Every structure is written in structure tokens, then in C-alpha cells.
């Protein structure tokens, strides 16, 4: 939607009528899926990276089938952006299902040693059995998988202590497969981010879009930001008010969006609110943690 178009009194109706249906699966995602399947036989452990702000929505359901019976370790990345109390509930949730979930903050290196230790623990019996057979010790081979923009390259670079892979704050930066040698006799197979063919739950799709796992370029960012504002009004109203210095929130999300725009002075020459600027500001400030440490979902939200 062009800036200033459909902004008048019909804008509220426009936003309300648009369901922002998200369904995106570019061709390179299928190639990545095939790459993961074809190379699983080469690895000992599958490391799945999740976004700590959306530990369920960022979990690719295809990975369960692709990984099969391979030992699995889950990394809750970007834990510095998440609500710690809610994150602890997610750690317990995965623990109750027999999955070790390790919170990681790549900026400070928090949790990375635990990741290495857990990968070794996951294949200890296998490696011990090889030693008993007189086999020469070989590196433990790890495959790292996850949705786009969840921080795989940053984690690899921290583990190697050098810039081994290209990183970027947008999906689709990592291309092809790369073997990376890690300290502690580990080898890691990196793969590009992989989404799944169909988002059956649009709430999951929205959460992924909020956290930039889906490119903004293919979305209506103004409607996306409106949905995020509505979500934050529901789960974190005080943080929303504090960030934008609002005494109160509107009765509806569009009213709160307008209040944010006026407070920040996002007004165009014709005295209409600049909704594009409001939208990009709210989305970026949420993604950068400026609105606060926020987790968008809790285990109780999962639909059985």
C-alpha cells in the first residue's frame, strides 16, 4: 500500500477487512529441505535453532520427519530479547517432552558452551562404542537447522571464534551447505534457513513475520504492524505504553497506532499520519528489543 493511499476515514475499514493471509514457500526452501534430507546420514546430532520470542511458531514441523531418530538438541536463540519467566516455561515444556532446550545469547556468548557439551552428551554412547571397537576417534558431526533469520550464522561464528559464514539481519543470507570445524573436535554442517510449505495456523505465520523470519518486502507492513500492536496491547500493554509514552492505549489497535504516530510526530505534509513510518518504527523497535523483553507465545497457547 503506497504511503498516504487509503489513509483517510476508510483506512480503519481497510485494515479490518484485510486478513493478511501469509503463505510463502520460495523455490530455494524446497532445495534446502532436500539438502537436509540427503545429508542427514552424514551427521550424528541435529541442532535445531528456535527464536526465544516464538519457541513454538519458529519450530519447523518438517524437522521432526527429516531428523528421524537422530539425537536432537534445541537452542532457544535471542534469549536476550525474550521474557525470562516465559522462556523458563518453554524450557520446561520441551524438557517434559524429552528435549533439551538451551537458551543462547550470541551477543554475549551465553549458552554456547552448554550447546557444545550437550552435543557431546547426545552421542557419548555412540562414540564410546566406536572406541571399544578400536575405531579411530573422529569429529562429532552436527547439522544445524532452523527457520530464516534465527541466528545460525552468528552462532557458528561465535563457536569458531572467527567469521566463518556470512551473516545478515534478513532471511536468505546463508546459501548452500558449509562444513565448519569447531573447537572440541566438532564439525558442523550449516544449512540455509528452511520454512515449511503451508502455514495452516495464521497466528504462527504472523509470529514469524513479526520476528522477520519472512521478508518484509512481500508483506503489507502497515497491516502487519497493526496486528503486532494489537498483540502487544493484549499481552504487554504496560511495555507498549512505556515505550511510546502513552498514558493509555486506545480501545482498538488502530487507535493505538494513531496515538503512537502522533506521539512520535509521524505526520505528513497534508497533516495525515504517516502509517508506513509508524509501521516500520514499531516493527523495528520490537525486533530490536526496544519495546522490552517480550515473548509472544506461551505453552498454553498451543492448539492441540
220: helix, strand or coil: coil
Query: Cα(64)–Cα(214) distance, rounded to whole angstroms?
Result: 21
Mean pLDDT of 265-273: 92
Residues 281 and 264: beta-carbon distance below 8 Å: yes
Within-domain flag for 49: yes
**DSSP one-letter code for 189:** E
Neighbours of 44 (CB within 10 A): 20
For CA atoms 249, 251, 257, 258, give the dihedral sign.
negative
Within-domain flag for 236: yes
Binding region for GTP: 77-80, 149-154, 193
Asked whether the predicted pLDDT for residue 200 surpasses 70, the reply is: no
Residue 272: alpha-carbon gap to chain centroid:
34
Confidence of residue 3 (pLDDT cuts 50, 70, 90): very low
Higher pLDDT, 40 or 249: 249
| pLDDT value of residue 198 | 53
Q: Which segment of 71-85, 129-143, 159-173, 282-296 scores lowest on mean pLDDT?
A: 159-173
Query: Cα(256)–Cα(72) distance, rounded to whole angstroms?
Result: 43
Q: Are residues 88 and 156 in the same domain?
A: yes
Q: Are residues 185 and 229 in the same domain?
A: no
Q: Which segment of 26-30, 47-51, 125-129, 188-192 scores lowest on mean pLDDT?
A: 26-30
Number of domains in the chain: 2
Share of the chain above pLDDT 70, in %: 80
Within-domain flag for 198: no
| pLDDT value of residue 173 | 38
Q: Are residues 76 and 180 in the same domain?
A: yes
192: helix, strand or coil: coil
Query: Cα(254)–Cα(277) distance, rounded to whole angstroms?
Result: 14
**DSSP one-letter code for 290:** S
Helix %, strand %, coil % of the chain (to 5): 45, 10, 40
CATH of residue 133's domain is 3.40.50.300
Set of cell numbers at residue 168: 545478515
Within-domain flag for 68: yes
- pLDDT digits over 169-179, tens only? 444 434 455 67
CA-nearest of 57, 51, 102, 79 to 293 is 79
| pLDDT value of residue 130 | 82
Q: Are residues 104 and 169 in the same domain?
A: yes
Which residue, chain included where needed, has cell 483517510?
Answer: 8
Q: Are residues 75 and 151 in the same domain?
A: yes
| pLDDT value of residue 167 | 41
Query: Cα(244)–Cα(229) distance, rounded to whole angstroms?
Result: 12
CATH of residue 244's domain is 1.10.1580.10
Mean pLDDT of 259-276: 94
Within-domain flag for 4: no
Q: Domain range spanning residue 274?
A: 11-20+220-301
Q: Are residues 143 and 288 in the same domain?
A: no
- pLDDT digits over 120-164, tens only? 898 888 888 888 888 887 888 988 888 778 888 888 888 887 654
Q: Are residues 259 and 292 in the same domain?
A: yes
Q: Are residues 185 and 237 in the same domain?
A: no
Asked whether the predicted pLDDT for residue 244 surpasses 50, the reply is: yes
Mean pLDDT of 266-277: 93
Q: Are residues 16 and 100 in the same domain?
A: no
To the nearest whole number, what is the mean pLDDT of the chain? Answer: 82
Q: Are residues 183 and 266 in the same domain?
A: no
| pLDDT value of residue 162 | 65
Within-domain flag for 208: no
Binding region: 77-80, 149-154, 193
Amino acid at each position: 500500500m503506497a504511503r498516504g493511499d487509503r489513509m483517510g476515514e476508510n483506512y480503519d475499514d481497510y485494515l479490518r477487512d484485510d486478513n493478511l493471509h501469509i503463505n510463502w514457500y520460495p523455490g530455494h526452501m524446497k532445495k534446502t529441505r532436500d539438502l537436509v534430507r540427503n545429508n542427514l546420514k552424514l551427521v550424528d546430532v541435529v541442532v535445531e535453532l528456535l527464536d526465544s520470542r516464538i519457541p513454538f511458531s519458529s519450530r519447523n514441523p518438517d524437522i521432526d520427519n527429516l531428523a528421524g531418530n537422530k539425537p536432537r538438541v534445541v537452542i532457544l536463540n535471542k534469549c536476550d530479547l525474550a521474557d525470562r519467566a516465559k522462556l523458563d516455561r518453554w524450557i520446561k515444556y520441551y524438557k517434559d517432552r524429552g528435549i533439551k532446550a538451551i537458551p543462547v545469547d550470541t551477543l554475549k556468548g551465553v549458552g554456547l558452551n552448554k550447546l557444545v557439551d550437550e552435543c557431546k552428551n547426545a552421542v557419548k554412547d555412540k562414540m564410546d562404542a566406536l572406541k571399544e571397537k578400536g575405531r579411530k576417534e573422529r569429529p562429532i558431526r552436527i547439522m544445524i537447522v532452523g527457520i530464516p533469520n534465527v541466528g545460525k550464522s552468528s552462532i557458528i561464528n561465535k563457536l569458531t571464534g572467527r567469521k566463518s559464514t556470512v551473516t545478515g539481519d534478513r532471511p536468505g543470507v546463508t546459501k548452500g551447505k558449509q562444513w565448519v570445524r569447531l573447537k572440541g573436535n566438532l564439525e558442523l554442517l550449516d544449512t540455509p534457513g528452511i520454512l515449511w510449505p503451508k502455514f495452516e495456523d495464521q497466528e504462527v505465520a504472523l509470529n514469524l513475520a513479526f520476528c522477520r523470519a519472512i521478508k518484509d518486502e512481500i508483506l503489507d507492513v502497515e497491516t502487519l504492524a497493526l496486528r503486532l500492536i494489537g498483540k502487544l496491547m493484549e499481552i504487554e500493554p504496560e511495555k507498549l505504553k512505556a515505550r511510546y509514552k502513552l498514558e493509555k492505549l486506545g480501545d482498538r489497535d488502530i487507535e493505538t497506532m494513531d496515538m503512537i504516530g502522533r506521539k512520535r510526530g509521524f505526520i505528513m505534509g497534508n497533516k495525515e499520519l504517516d502509517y508506513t513510518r509508524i509501521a516500520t518504527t514499531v516493527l523495528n523497535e520490537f525486533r530490536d528489543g526496544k519495546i522490552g523483553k517480550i515473548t509472544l507465545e506461551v505453552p498454553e497457547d498451543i492448539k492441540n
